[in-house]
DNA sequence: GAAAATAGGGTTAAAATAATCCTATTTAAT
DNA sequence: ATTAAATAGGATTATTTTAACCCTATTTTC
Protein backbone atom coordinates (compact mmCIF):
# COMPACT_ATOMS: atom_id res chain seq x y z
CA UNK A 1 0.00 0.00 0.00
CA UNK A 2 2.21 2.72 1.25
CA UNK A 3 4.96 1.28 -0.80
CA UNK A 4 6.87 3.64 -2.98
CA UNK A 5 8.37 2.34 -6.20
CA UNK A 6 12.10 2.21 -6.59
CA UNK A 7 11.93 4.57 -9.51
CA UNK A 8 10.24 7.14 -7.32
CA UNK A 9 12.89 6.61 -4.69
CA UNK A 10 15.56 7.14 -7.34
CA UNK A 11 13.87 10.34 -8.40
CA UNK A 12 13.47 11.74 -4.92
CA UNK A 13 17.03 10.87 -4.01
CA UNK A 14 18.32 12.49 -7.18
CA UNK A 15 16.37 15.66 -6.49
CA UNK A 16 17.65 15.94 -2.93
CA UNK A 17 21.15 15.21 -4.20
CA UNK A 18 20.93 17.97 -6.80
CA UNK A 19 19.48 20.27 -4.16
CA UNK A 20 22.44 19.80 -1.86
CA UNK A 21 24.83 20.41 -4.74
CA UNK A 22 23.39 23.86 -5.13
CA UNK A 23 21.10 25.44 -7.67
CA UNK A 24 22.51 25.59 -11.17
CA UNK A 25 25.29 23.07 -10.64
CA UNK A 26 25.17 20.51 -13.47
CA UNK A 27 25.69 16.92 -12.35
CA UNK A 28 26.01 13.85 -14.54
CA UNK A 29 23.92 10.76 -14.08
CA UNK A 30 27.13 8.80 -13.66
CA UNK A 31 28.21 10.93 -10.73
CA UNK A 32 24.84 10.57 -9.05
CA UNK A 33 24.64 6.84 -9.67
CA UNK A 34 28.14 6.34 -8.28
CA UNK A 35 27.59 8.49 -5.22
CA UNK A 36 24.15 7.22 -4.43
CA UNK A 37 24.76 3.63 -5.44
CA UNK A 38 21.98 3.18 -7.98
CA UNK A 39 21.91 1.66 -11.43
CA UNK A 40 23.06 4.34 -13.84
CA UNK A 41 20.68 3.31 -16.60
CA UNK A 42 17.63 3.17 -14.42
CA UNK A 43 18.45 6.44 -12.71
CA UNK A 44 18.82 7.89 -16.19
CA UNK A 45 15.21 6.97 -16.96
CA UNK A 46 14.06 8.62 -13.77
CA UNK A 47 15.98 11.78 -14.68
CA UNK A 48 14.38 11.83 -18.10
CA UNK A 49 10.96 11.71 -16.45
CA UNK A 50 11.91 14.52 -14.08
CA UNK A 51 13.14 16.55 -17.02
CA UNK A 52 9.89 16.13 -18.95
CA UNK A 53 8.06 17.43 -15.89
CA UNK A 54 10.34 20.45 -15.63
CA UNK A 55 11.65 19.37 -12.25
CA UNK A 56 15.10 18.95 -13.72
CA UNK A 57 16.81 20.61 -16.65
CA UNK A 58 19.10 18.60 -18.87
CA UNK A 59 22.25 19.79 -20.58
CA UNK A 60 23.31 17.55 -23.43
CA UNK A 61 26.77 16.93 -24.74
CA UNK A 62 30.14 16.41 -23.12
CA UNK A 63 29.80 18.82 -20.23
CA UNK A 64 26.19 17.85 -19.84
CA UNK A 65 24.14 16.56 -16.98
CA UNK A 66 21.20 17.61 -14.91
CA UNK A 67 20.37 20.46 -12.61
CA UNK A 68 17.18 21.42 -10.82
CA UNK A 69 14.57 23.09 -12.96
CA UNK A 70 13.21 25.25 -10.18
CA UNK A 71 13.71 26.10 -6.55
CA UNK A 72 13.25 23.41 -3.92
CA UNK A 73 10.43 25.50 -2.49
CA UNK A 74 8.63 24.93 -5.76
CA UNK A 75 9.09 21.16 -6.08
CA UNK A 76 6.73 18.95 -4.15
CA UNK A 77 6.90 15.25 -3.46
CA UNK A 78 3.68 14.92 -5.44
CA UNK A 79 5.39 16.56 -8.43
CA UNK A 80 8.06 13.89 -8.36
CA UNK A 81 5.61 11.05 -7.88
CA UNK A 82 3.44 12.17 -10.76
CA UNK A 83 6.42 12.90 -13.02
CA UNK A 84 7.74 9.42 -12.49
CA UNK A 85 4.68 7.26 -12.10
CA UNK A 86 1.95 9.30 -13.68
CA UNK A 87 -1.34 10.12 -12.07
CA UNK A 88 -2.37 7.39 -9.68
CA UNK A 89 -5.56 5.49 -10.35
CA UNK A 90 -6.55 4.23 -6.97
CA UNK A 91 -10.00 2.93 -7.64
CA UNK A 92 -10.15 -0.51 -9.15
CA UNK A 93 -13.64 -1.65 -8.29
CA UNK A 94 -14.09 -5.20 -9.48
CA UNK A 95 -17.37 -4.36 -11.15
CA UNK A 96 -17.75 -2.04 -14.09
CA UNK A 97 -20.18 0.76 -13.48
CA UNK A 98 -22.70 -0.29 -16.11
CA UNK A 99 -22.81 -3.88 -14.93
CA UNK A 100 -22.77 -3.02 -11.25
CA UNK A 101 -26.20 -3.60 -9.77
CA UNK A 102 -25.56 -1.65 -6.64
CA UNK A 103 -23.74 1.18 -8.31
CA UNK A 104 -26.08 3.93 -7.23
CA UNK A 105 -25.89 2.89 -3.60
CA UNK A 106 -22.23 1.90 -3.64
CA UNK A 107 -19.93 4.62 -2.41
CA UNK A 108 -16.75 2.62 -2.69
CA UNK A 109 -15.40 4.83 -5.45
CA UNK A 110 -16.09 7.87 -3.34
CA UNK A 111 -14.21 6.43 -0.39
CA UNK A 112 -11.25 5.54 -2.53
CA UNK A 113 -11.22 8.92 -4.20
CA UNK A 114 -11.41 10.65 -0.86
CA UNK A 115 -8.42 8.66 0.31
CA UNK A 116 -6.54 9.39 -2.86
CA UNK A 117 -7.10 13.10 -2.51
CA UNK A 118 -5.97 13.06 1.09
CA UNK A 119 -2.70 11.38 0.17
CA UNK A 120 -2.30 13.58 -2.88
CA UNK A 121 -2.85 16.73 -0.85
CA UNK A 122 -0.34 15.60 1.72
CA UNK A 123 2.35 14.98 -0.87
CA UNK A 124 1.49 18.17 -2.70
CA UNK A 125 1.97 20.14 0.50
CA UNK A 126 5.38 18.63 1.13
CA UNK A 127 8.04 20.54 -0.76
CA UNK A 128 11.62 19.38 -1.13
CA UNK A 129 12.63 22.46 0.79
CA UNK A 130 10.58 21.54 3.83
CA UNK A 131 11.62 17.92 3.59
CA UNK A 132 15.28 18.93 3.72
CA UNK A 133 14.65 21.30 6.58
CA UNK A 134 12.67 18.92 8.73
CA UNK A 135 15.69 16.67 8.95
CA UNK A 136 18.46 19.05 9.88
CA UNK A 137 16.67 19.95 13.08
CA UNK B 1 3.46 5.16 -5.72
CA UNK B 2 0.14 6.15 -4.36
CA UNK B 3 -1.19 2.90 -5.63
CA UNK B 4 -3.16 0.81 -3.24
CA UNK B 5 -3.08 -2.96 -3.66
CA UNK B 6 -6.21 -4.79 -4.65
CA UNK B 7 -6.17 -6.77 -1.46
CA UNK B 8 -6.26 -3.52 0.51
CA UNK B 9 -9.11 -2.33 -1.66
CA UNK B 10 -10.94 -5.59 -0.96
CA UNK B 11 -10.38 -5.11 2.74
CA UNK B 12 -11.53 -1.51 2.82
CA UNK B 13 -14.58 -2.29 0.73
CA UNK B 14 -15.47 -5.21 2.97
CA UNK B 15 -15.16 -3.06 6.08
CA UNK B 16 -17.36 -0.31 4.69
CA UNK B 17 -19.83 -2.96 3.53
CA UNK B 18 -19.98 -4.52 6.99
CA UNK B 19 -20.30 -1.05 8.47
CA UNK B 20 -23.35 -0.24 6.38
CA UNK B 21 -24.90 -3.57 7.32
CA UNK B 22 -24.86 -2.52 10.93
CA UNK B 23 -22.75 -3.51 13.90
CA UNK B 24 -23.12 -7.16 14.91
CA UNK B 25 -24.73 -8.35 11.70
CA UNK B 26 -22.87 -11.46 10.50
CA UNK B 27 -22.25 -11.54 6.74
CA UNK B 28 -20.77 -14.39 4.72
CA UNK B 29 -17.83 -13.94 2.36
CA UNK B 30 -20.03 -15.27 -0.41
CA UNK B 31 -22.62 -12.55 0.12
CA UNK B 32 -19.96 -9.85 0.12
CA UNK B 33 -18.18 -11.24 -2.91
CA UNK B 34 -21.44 -11.46 -4.84
CA UNK B 35 -22.63 -7.99 -3.89
CA UNK B 36 -19.31 -6.30 -4.36
CA UNK B 37 -18.18 -8.32 -7.34
CA UNK B 38 -14.88 -9.62 -6.03
CA UNK B 39 -13.28 -13.04 -6.11
CA UNK B 40 -14.66 -14.98 -3.18
CA UNK B 41 -11.42 -16.78 -2.41
CA UNK B 42 -9.28 -13.69 -2.48
CA UNK B 43 -11.74 -11.69 -0.42
CA UNK B 44 -11.67 -14.58 2.02
CA UNK B 45 -7.91 -14.12 2.50
CA UNK B 46 -8.42 -10.42 3.10
CA UNK B 47 -11.06 -11.18 5.71
CA UNK B 48 -8.75 -13.60 7.45
CA UNK B 49 -6.14 -10.85 7.69
CA UNK B 50 -8.71 -8.42 9.06
CA UNK B 51 -9.77 -11.02 11.58
CA UNK B 52 -6.21 -11.58 12.83
CA UNK B 53 -5.93 -7.84 13.37
CA UNK B 54 -9.18 -7.74 15.34
CA UNK B 55 -10.83 -5.50 12.77
CA UNK B 56 -13.33 -8.23 11.98
CA UNK B 57 -14.66 -11.09 14.04
CA UNK B 58 -15.32 -14.44 12.43
CA UNK B 59 -18.07 -16.86 13.23
CA UNK B 60 -17.41 -20.36 11.98
CA UNK B 61 -19.89 -22.98 10.96
CA UNK B 62 -23.10 -22.96 8.98
CA UNK B 63 -24.49 -19.66 10.23
CA UNK B 64 -21.00 -18.21 10.17
CA UNK B 65 -19.48 -15.19 8.52
CA UNK B 66 -17.86 -11.95 9.53
CA UNK B 67 -18.85 -8.89 11.44
CA UNK B 68 -16.89 -5.84 12.53
CA UNK B 69 -14.64 -6.32 15.53
CA UNK B 70 -15.03 -2.82 16.82
CA UNK B 71 -16.80 0.45 16.13
CA UNK B 72 -16.07 2.31 12.90
CA UNK B 73 -14.79 5.18 15.01
CA UNK B 74 -12.09 2.82 16.19
CA UNK B 75 -10.96 1.43 12.85
CA UNK B 76 -8.55 3.52 10.83
CA UNK B 77 -7.47 3.16 7.23
CA UNK B 78 -3.96 2.53 8.56
CA UNK B 79 -5.28 -0.38 10.62
CA UNK B 80 -6.64 -1.99 7.48
CA UNK B 81 -3.51 -1.32 5.46
CA UNK B 82 -1.23 -2.80 8.10
CA UNK B 83 -3.52 -5.75 8.75
CA UNK B 84 -3.52 -6.64 5.09
CA UNK B 85 -0.08 -5.66 3.88
CA UNK B 86 1.99 -5.51 7.01
CA UNK B 87 4.13 -2.60 8.07
CA UNK B 88 5.43 -0.73 5.06
CA UNK B 89 9.14 -0.58 4.47
CA UNK B 90 9.55 2.52 2.40
CA UNK B 91 13.28 2.93 2.40
CA UNK B 92 15.11 0.76 -0.05
CA UNK B 93 18.39 2.62 -0.46
CA UNK B 94 20.46 0.84 -3.05
CA UNK B 95 23.50 0.83 -0.83
CA UNK B 96 23.80 -1.09 2.39
CA UNK B 97 24.69 1.08 5.35
CA UNK B 98 28.03 -0.57 6.04
CA UNK B 99 29.16 -0.32 2.44
CA UNK B 100 27.77 3.17 1.89
CA UNK B 101 30.62 5.65 1.78
CA UNK B 102 28.44 8.68 2.21
CA UNK B 103 26.21 7.19 4.85
CA UNK B 104 26.97 9.73 7.54
CA UNK B 105 26.21 12.64 5.25
CA UNK B 106 23.34 10.98 3.39
CA UNK B 107 19.94 11.84 4.73
CA UNK B 108 17.97 9.89 2.19
CA UNK B 109 16.71 7.43 4.79
CA UNK B 110 15.60 10.33 6.92
CA UNK B 111 13.67 11.87 4.07
CA UNK B 112 11.99 8.60 3.24
CA UNK B 113 11.14 7.93 6.86
CA UNK B 114 9.73 11.40 7.23
CA UNK B 115 7.53 10.81 4.22
CA UNK B 116 6.47 7.43 5.51
CA UNK B 117 5.44 8.88 8.83
CA UNK B 118 3.47 11.62 7.19
CA UNK B 119 1.48 9.13 5.15
CA UNK B 120 1.12 6.80 8.09
CA UNK B 121 -0.16 9.60 10.30
CA UNK B 122 -2.65 10.64 7.67
CA UNK B 123 -4.08 7.14 7.32
CA UNK B 124 -4.03 6.62 11.07
CA UNK B 125 -6.09 9.77 11.50
CA UNK B 126 -8.70 8.66 8.99
CA UNK B 127 -11.26 6.42 10.64
CA UNK B 128 -13.85 4.45 8.75
CA UNK B 129 -16.46 6.52 10.51
CA UNK B 130 -15.12 9.80 9.17
CA UNK B 131 -14.58 8.28 5.72
CA UNK B 132 -18.24 7.25 5.59
CA UNK B 133 -19.38 10.63 6.83
CA UNK B 134 -17.31 12.73 4.47
CA UNK B 135 -19.19 11.20 1.56
CA UNK B 136 -22.82 11.58 2.57
CA UNK B 137 -22.44 15.33 2.61
C1' DG C 1 -24.17 -37.22 9.41
C1' DA C 2 -24.70 -33.63 5.90
C1' DA C 3 -24.18 -29.07 4.57
C1' DA C 4 -22.38 -24.46 4.86
C1' DA C 5 -19.26 -21.74 6.49
C1' DT C 6 -14.30 -20.14 7.96
C1' DA C 7 -8.93 -21.41 8.03
C1' DG C 8 -5.17 -21.76 5.68
C1' DG C 9 -1.26 -24.10 3.04
C1' DG C 10 0.56 -24.41 -1.44
C1' DT C 11 0.86 -23.70 -6.33
C1' DT C 12 0.17 -21.36 -10.61
C1' DA C 13 -0.89 -17.28 -13.52
C1' DA C 14 -0.72 -12.64 -14.54
C1' DA C 15 0.85 -8.14 -14.07
C1' DA C 16 3.91 -4.68 -12.68
C1' DT C 17 8.48 -3.33 -11.79
C1' DA C 18 13.26 -3.19 -12.54
C1' DA C 19 17.17 -3.99 -15.25
C1' DT C 20 19.57 -4.36 -19.40
C1' DC C 21 20.74 -3.71 -24.21
C1' DC C 22 21.30 -1.01 -28.04
C1' DT C 23 21.36 2.98 -30.98
C1' DA C 24 20.75 7.90 -31.87
C1' DT C 25 21.68 12.60 -30.87
C1' DT C 26 24.04 16.46 -28.86
C1' DT C 27 28.07 19.11 -27.74
C1' DA C 28 32.84 20.28 -26.00
C1' DA C 29 37.50 19.69 -26.90
C1' DT C 30 41.26 18.65 -29.74
C1' DA D 1 36.32 16.92 -38.86
C1' DT D 2 36.89 13.60 -35.36
C1' DT D 3 36.51 11.83 -31.01
C1' DA D 4 34.66 11.36 -26.57
C1' DA D 5 31.25 12.10 -23.09
C1' DA D 6 26.97 12.97 -22.14
C1' DT D 7 21.60 12.76 -22.59
C1' DA D 8 17.27 10.48 -25.21
C1' DG D 9 14.75 6.90 -25.65
C1' DG D 10 12.93 2.47 -27.85
C1' DA D 11 12.84 -2.37 -27.10
C1' DT D 12 13.57 -6.45 -24.73
C1' DT D 13 14.37 -9.48 -20.86
C1' DA D 14 14.42 -10.70 -15.98
C1' DT D 15 12.68 -10.35 -11.57
C1' DT D 16 9.42 -9.54 -8.22
C1' DT D 17 4.98 -8.79 -6.66
C1' DT D 18 0.27 -9.46 -6.88
C1' DA D 19 -3.70 -12.02 -7.77
C1' DA D 20 -6.01 -16.18 -8.55
C1' DC D 21 -6.83 -20.80 -7.89
C1' DC D 22 -6.81 -25.52 -5.88
C1' DC D 23 -7.39 -28.41 -2.24
C1' DT D 24 -8.09 -30.06 2.41
C1' DA D 25 -9.17 -29.33 7.31
C1' DT D 26 -12.06 -27.57 10.85
C1' DT D 27 -16.16 -25.70 12.88
C1' DT D 28 -20.99 -25.51 13.68
C1' DT D 29 -26.03 -25.77 12.69
C1' DC D 30 -29.76 -28.57 11.45
Highest mean pLDDT: which of A55-64, A111-120, B117-126?
A55-64
- Residues 68-127, chain B, touching A (beta carbon < 8 A): 77, 81, 84-85, 88-95, 100, 102, 106-108, 110-112, 114-116, 118-120, 122-123, 126
Distance of A76 CA from C16 C1′ (whole Å): 25
CA distance B20 to B123: 21
Q: Is the pLDDT of residue B52 over 90?
A: yes
Q: Where are the alpha helices (DSSP H) in A6-136?
A: 6-21, 29-36, 40-52, 77-85, 108-124, 128-135
CATH number at A6-135: 1.10.10.10
Among A112-116, B27-31, B54-58, the least confident range: A112-116
Nearest-CA distance A111 → chain B (Å)? 6
Q: Which residues in chain A are contacts of B111 at CB distance < 8 A? A: 12, 16, 131-132, 135
Backbone torsions φ then ψ of B47, nearest 5 degrees: -65, -40
- More reliable by pLDDT, A17 or A2: A17
B45 touches chain A (CB under 8 A): no
Which range (B7-11, B27-31, B43-47, B53-57) has the least confidence? Answer: B7-11
Cβ atoms of B39 and B96 within 8 Å: the answer is: no
Q: Searching chain A, which residue's CA lies closest to the CA of residue B84?
A: A1
Query: Which distant-in-sequence residues (6+ apart) come within 8 Å of A50 by Cβ?
Result: A11, A14, A15, A56, A66, A69, A80, A83, A84
Q: Do B94 and A38 touch (CB under 8 A)?
A: yes
Between A35 and A18, the more confident residue is: A18
Measured CA to CA, the distance from residue A43 to residue A84 in angstroms comes to: 11
Cα–Cα distance measured from residue B4 to residue B11, given in angstroms and rounded to the nearest whole number: 11
In this prediction, what percent of chain A has a pLDDT beyond 90? 47
pLDDT value at position B98?
Answer: 45
Q: Vertex B127, ends B121 and B132: CA angle to 5°?
A: 135
Residue pLDDT, tens place only, A89-120:
555 544 444 444 454 456 887 888 888 888 88
Q: Express as a percent the part of chain B with pLDDT over 90.
A: 46
Nearest Cα of chain B lies from the Cα of A95 at a distance, in angstroms, of 6
Please list the alpha-helical segments (H only) found in chain B.
Answer: 6-21, 29-36, 40-52, 77-85, 108-124, 128-135
Nucleotides of D under 7 A from a protein CB: 4-9, 18-23, 26-30
Give me the mean pLDDT over the A72-95 stretch: 78
User: Shortest Cα distance from B3 to chain A (angstroms)?
Assistant: 6
**Predicted local distance difference test score (pLDDT) of residue B105:** 56
Amino acid sequence: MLQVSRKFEYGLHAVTYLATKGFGRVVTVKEMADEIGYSQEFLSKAMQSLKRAGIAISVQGVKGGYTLGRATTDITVADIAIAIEGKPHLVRCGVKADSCEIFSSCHHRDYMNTLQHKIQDLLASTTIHTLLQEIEQ
